[in-house]
A = this chain, B = another copy of it.
Amino acid sequence: MDAQQKISIEELRKLCRDVLAHYGFSQLHINALTETLVTGQINECASHGVYRLLGLIHTLNAGKVSPDAHPIVFDHAPAIVKVDAQKTFSPIAFQAGLPLLTEKAKINGLAAMAINHCVHFSALWFEIEQITQQGLVAIACNPSHAWVAPVGGSKSILGTNPFAFGWPRPDNDPFIFDFATSAIARGDIELHRRTNTPLKEGWAVDVKGNPTTDPNEALTGSMLPFGSHKGSALSIMIELIAASLIGDLNSAESLAWDEKAGGLPYHGEIIIAFNPQSFLGDQMSEYFNRAELMFGDIEASGARLPSQRRYAAKKKNLASGMVSIDQTLLKDIQNLLS
């Protein structure tokens, strides 16, 4: 990792806005994208922070995303919202559909939002967090580009397919997890290649489907799902419910669509929101308290709840109004303006 420097959140936000405006993004896009990127940085999720600006502009320059289209929200069925993202980035489509998803979940007890035709770069936790803020429980997942082989196979058919979940906690940050169903992020394989470090067993196979710990063989071969056949099954489920069920590209189709442009994945996403008030009625506080007891037991036993590192970083950075950023990355972003 290169040297880090501090920058004020306001200054970073302005830099993002300036870059996006420079490349012709509309106000709607500038607002949603800046919020997503800067939130990633505040939460110290470097891989989903302002670093992503580079990929966004690359994808725009490759002609693979719209900088100014308006997503269209459809009231598709009593419990289904559909959002046609119109080839915009996912956060713009998500924000367009969220109010109707929330309304439908509260009326029906649960509801699904299917986002179609979006270019994807954002972390699901940020979307989940916006749903738990409405008092709802949420599950979200999406395909990506096909870089992962199903367990036992020799071909990349599945994406790194993230799966995320959120549970609102009274008087506390929500319980949120968001993980790739691949054993490891693709960026980690790249990092091992650059530092010439062998991979761990179970992370990848070569082009013939044989286990490999060589990062070069992994990059020409396939990554593997986490958790062996169970993770593999979950990843296939994500292809089915977040591509086939919602009528959008799966990870193999997304990669084919990219035509080796090295752009971001283009596909859909499914989000399911549950209204605990509908399920529990006047028993809600009792059962939410019992969930709190479980969280307490988990922490008392020595385990950590997910997202705690992120919440600590957010708290610290919001208090100081400053975030850390890689110096080289900051220069690269500033250079986008020249």
Contacts and interface: CB of A to CB of B under 8 A. Distances in A.
Contact of A231 (B80, B153, B227, B291): B227
Given A112-B110, A231-B227, A137 B241 contact: yes
Contacts of A177: 230, 233, 236-237
Contacts of A179: 229-230, 233
Given A245-B276, A245-B287, A153 B240 contact: no
B154 A301 contact: yes
Given A79-B109, A237-B177, A244 B153 contact: no
A51 interface: no
A22 interface: no
B109 A109 contact: no
A184 to B, nearest CB: 11
A150 interface: yes
Interface string A241-273: 100111100101100000000000000000010
A94 interface: no
Contacts of A234: 163
Contacts of A294: 157, 236, 239, 244, 250, 252
Interface in A270-311: 272, 274, 276, 278-280, 283, 286-288, 290-291, 294, 297-298, 300-304, 306
B109 A112 contact: yes
A138 to B, nearest CB: 10
Residue in A77, A79, A280, A306 whose Cβ sees the most chain B Cβ within 10 Å: A79
A79 B244 contact: no
- What's the dominant secondary structure at chain A's contact region? mixed
Interface string A126-159: 0000000000010100000000011111110100
A236 B228 CA distance: 20
A250 B301 contact: no
Interface residues of A, number: 72
A59 interface: no
Given A79-B79, A150-B298, A247-B286, 7 more contacts: A110-B272, A155-B297, A244-B288, A245-B274, A246-B280, A247-B279, A253-B290
25 contacts: A76-B109, A77-B108, A77-B278, A78-B78, A78-B107, A80-B278, A80-B279, A137-B241, A152-B303, A153-B298, A154-B301, A157-B297, A157-B298, A177-B230, A181-B230, A226-B230, A227-B228, A227-B231, A239-B291, A240-B291, A246-B280, A247-B280, A250-B290, A250-B294, A252-B294
Interface of A: 76-80, 107-112, 114, 137, 139, 149-155, 157, 163, 165, 167, 175, 177, 179, 181, 209, 226-234, 236-237, 239-241, 244-247, 250, 252-253, 272, 274, 276, 278-280, 283, 286-288, 290-291, 294, 297-298, 300-304, 306
